[in-house]
Amino acid sequence: MLSIEGVSSGYGKILAVKDVNLLVEEGEIVVLLGANGAGKSTLLRTISGAMKPKSGSIIFKGQRIDGKKPHLIVKEGVVQVEEGRGILSRMSVKENLDMGAYLRSDKDGIMKDLERVFQKFPRLKERLNQNAGTLSGGEQQMLAIGRAMMANPKLLLMDEPSLGLSPNFVELIIRAIREFRDQDGYTILLVEQNAKKALDIADRGYILETGRIVLEGTAQDLLNNEELQRAYLGRDAKTRED
Amino acid sequence: MILFQQLINGLMLGATYSLVAIGYTLIFGVLGLLHFAHGEVLMAGAFMGLYIILWSGLPLYITLPLTMIATGILGLIVQFFAIRPIKKDYHLAPLLSTIGVTIILQHLAIKIFGGYGTRFPDAISTKIYKFGALTISSDSLLIFGIAVMLMLVLYFFIAKTKVGRAMRAVAESHLTAGFLGVNVDRIVLITFGVASALAGAAGVLVGIAFHTITPFMGLTFALKGLVVMLLGGLGNVVGAMIGGLILGLAEVSSVVLIPSEINLQDVFAFGIMILILIFKPEGLFGTRVSKR
């Protein structure tokens, strides 16, 4: 579904992502792991068109999307839940959800998806007219994910959705992601710090280190990989500050 | 009574300031840019209105929308050629470019219209209404009415329409707006068009109010619009609306309170600006603009 071939990308002359090859098949959850600054967010931003790759190509459903502007990539069905949630804090919860469906005009489909969002995250229905900036961190993450559902995505890019959330919310978000694959038919490329939890629900994974893919495999293989256990899953796993 | 009389004048004056400041604040909202040439767009609007009336004799209710369309297009041209191509990485570059546009527009106007005041034709027959000792001219009512109407339309546009919502999204974050499917470049362009149309309307209203327009009038309104934007809080449209009225009222009050031989109106206006900058830099109704 998504095929990244030899992509290098970065701001200015510094390449944060170097010659990356990555494949996401339809119906998969693929997890992208790596330390802080490994280039995970840069890669997602490059897929979404917020950054132009310096070289390589990105192919979605047989069509090149690299170099396209973000809104055209969204139109193709590639929707990103950005790091830090990207909530429009001066708008209401309802307006945020409406913005998710910005490119759509199928009223019935939008209504249906809104109901699905409320089913998944009933809390959002209670907060509908509240200013989104006043939501708690967990609620904001629900809103960010619900808003992405409103875009009717084919491929969902999620940049650290569990970051800074309480364990309860982490469980909720992880379950939602699993349901996206199993019930909603979304394909998911997930960037996570929480390697264990992510690999538990993922089909395959890639490890990014200073901009390069250093390891890839099925989620099971990665969970059992000793080196990886030491680096990401073990007791002395690096924990992230914020 | 004279104070009350002046209050009405203040509201009229203030409403034109509001129109200018709304444009400023819209553009600041979506680009984080101080659009210095905004006052010159007002000046251009005043002259366009003048010539539309002189040449075609069209009534105000047609002249005004025509002028707004013309200055709206002028705004699009300015954005497309002088702002969009400039890399945002160089902090002062876009600002300097708008200052360049300011000077170009002003000098073109001097070449075309002459560097002196031109009488603005009477767009409507002026009637004077008397309520006891109070006299109100139909001019001031009309100016205030039109300005308020435009502000209400704009408010509805921003609050309720899809494009308005997209403008607010872009004002919060270009990245997020793009990820939601908003064509950010187009929304920025539309914002310039809308802001410039409002400035054009303000230009015509100022022409009606002061009866004389000059190629140099832009700067005064650019600076006062700036004061109002600060007063209302950067990027805050409703703040700009109210802020304009406050500045207008404050200016005319200074005329009443201080003997008119010493013209301290502008000292007053910019004194207020400095006080705000010192004590309430986020503005009276401040939404703080987050920098990302």
**What is the C-alpha to C-alpha distance for residues B24 and B199, in angstroms, rounded to an integer?**
9
Residues of A in contact with B287 (CB under 8 A): 90
Using pLDDT thresholds of 50, 70 and 90, give the confidence band for residue A180.
very high
SS3 A217: strand
Q: How far is B169 from chain A (nearest CA, A)?
A: 7
Residue B182: closest CA among A89, A45, A86, A103: A103
Residues of B in contact with A152 (CB under 8 A): none
Name the most confidently modeled range: B124-138, B143-157, B217-231: B143-157
- Residue B238: what are its φ and ψ, rounded to 5°? -65, -40
Q: Which of A146-160, A182-196, B77-91 has the lowest mean pLDDT?
A: B77-91
Whether pLDDT at A236 is above 50: no
Over the stretch A191-203, which tens digit does the pLDDT of each residue have?
988 888 899 999 9
| B292 in reach of chain A (CB within 8 A) | no
**What is the C-alpha to C-alpha distance for residues A82 and A90, in angstroms, rounded to an integer?**
17
Over the stretch A41-75, which tens digit does the pLDDT of each residue have?
999 999 999 999 999 999 999 999 998 999 999 99
**What is the C-alpha to C-alpha distance for residues A48 and B181, in angstroms, rounded to an integer?**
10
Residue that has been written with the tokens 């410039």 in this structure? B196
Residue A174: closest CA among A138, A201, A147, A207: A201
Whether pLDDT at A141 is above 60: yes
Give rounded-to-5 percent helix, strand, coil for chain B: 75, 5, 25
For B167, name the nearest residue in chain A, comparing CA atoms only. A99
Question: Which tokens go with B110?
Answer: 């001097």
pLDDT of residue B292: 35
Inter-chain CB pairs, A–B, below 8 Å:
62
The two beta strands, A55-60 and A2-9, are: antiparallel
pLDDT of residue B290: 42
**What is the C-alpha to C-alpha distance for residues B228 and B269, in angstroms, rounded to an integer?**
9
Contact B277, B230 (CB under 8 A): yes
Q: Do B179 and A70 touch (CB under 8 A)?
A: yes
Residues of A in contact with B185 (CB under 8 A): 69
Question: Percent of chain B at pLDDT above 90?
Answer: 56
Question: Which tokens go with B17?
Answer: 């300031």
Question: Which tokens go with A239?
Answer: 């924990």
The two beta strands, A78-81 and B128-131, are: unpaired
Among A49, A71, A95, beta carbon nearest to B182: A71
Residue B13: closest CA among B221, B157, B193: B221
Using pLDDT thresholds of 50, 70 and 90, give the confidence band for residue A77.
very high
Burial A128-159 (b: 16+ CB within 10 A, else e): eeeebeebeebbbbbbbbbbbbbbbbbbbbbb
Q: Quote the mean pLDDT of chain A.
A: 91
Rg of chain B on CA atoms, in Å:
19
pLDDT of residue A234: 55
Whether pLDDT at B260 is above 70: no
**What is the C-alpha to C-alpha distance for residues A82 and A160, in angstroms, rounded to an integer?**
8
Q: How far is B165 from chain A (nearest CA, A)?
A: 8
Whether pLDDT at A5 is above 70: yes
Q: What mean pLDDT is predicted for residues A201-229?
A: 89
**What is the C-alpha to C-alpha distance for residues B275 and B277, in angstroms, rounded to an integer?**
5
